[in-house]
Amino acid sequence: MITLKGLTQIFKKEIKHYFVAPIAYIVITIFLLVSGFFFFFFNGGFFYRGQASMRDFFTLLPIVFSFVIPAITMHQFSEEFNTGSYEMLLTMPLTYLDIIIGKFLASLTLTAVSLLPTLSYAIFISTIGNLDWGPVIGGYVGALLMGASFCAIGLFASSITNNQIVSFLVGAVICFGLSILQQALYFFPPVIADFLQNLSVSNHFYNVTRGIIDLKDLIYFAVLCFIAMYATRIVMEEKK
């Protein structure tokens, strides 16, 4: 059950926390530095390749998000457990879903905000070359879908411990594992490799970045979010 009022309040409080704390500015800066550096200078560099495309930016995004998003979500429950404010939170007229979805949407919003400045890359590239906007739009849609799944995973990681570092590491390991699964496929026999490819975040993300949004990929990201948030709910219920 969701009470819209409660969810909105949790969302507002979390967003305020990001910008007052000031987690948001630090995360956005680090994200832009790392993703910008890799995009423009890595693998020979953007200018050397001479292609008007953002493909390399999106290729690296799963790895960058694997570390940036758990840093956004690591405090969400861990800090509440640590300071005891979790007790205040749970004894106010809020449902589990209010709390989980409110926190989830707040971290997803911050992820979206940190992606916003990178739109300037697209605008910049379109002025110096002939940019195909289809894959760019697909790339941003994919980035939001993947970001949402990673936020849900990070939230779950935060719900299992009162230590923010443990929460970050657990979240990063799960996200990173799901991201590099695609690259590790050679090690497995073809039958298992096929199955694992369907589990890989990068595989579904690259599908979307081609500019083709398939129902299969949407379902994958939706299921990933659902599983992580449901697991968070189970953890919260177990704590009762």
Binding residues vs other proteins (CB under 8 A): 1, 3, 5-6, 9, 12-13, 16-17, 20-21, 83-88, 90-95, 240
Residue number, 9 or 163, with CB nearest to other proteins: 9
Report H helices in the chain.
4-20, 23-41, 46-49, 55-73, 78-83, 85-90, 96-115, 119-128, 133-159, 164-180, 190-199, 201-209, 215-239
In angstroms, the Cα distances linking 188 to 28, 175, 179, 185, 202 are: 37, 20, 16, 6, 17
CA-CA distance, 150 to 158, in Å (whole number)? 12
CA-CA distance, 91 to 70, in Å (whole number)? 27
Residue number, 87 or 194, with CB nearest to other proteins: 87
Q: Sign of the CA dihedral 176, 179, 184, 185?
A: positive
DSSP 185: G
145 touches 205 (CB < 8 A) = yes
CA atoms within 13 A on the CB side of 146: 34
CA-CA distance, 183 to 173, in Å (whole number)? 15
Give me 113's structure tokens.
């905000």
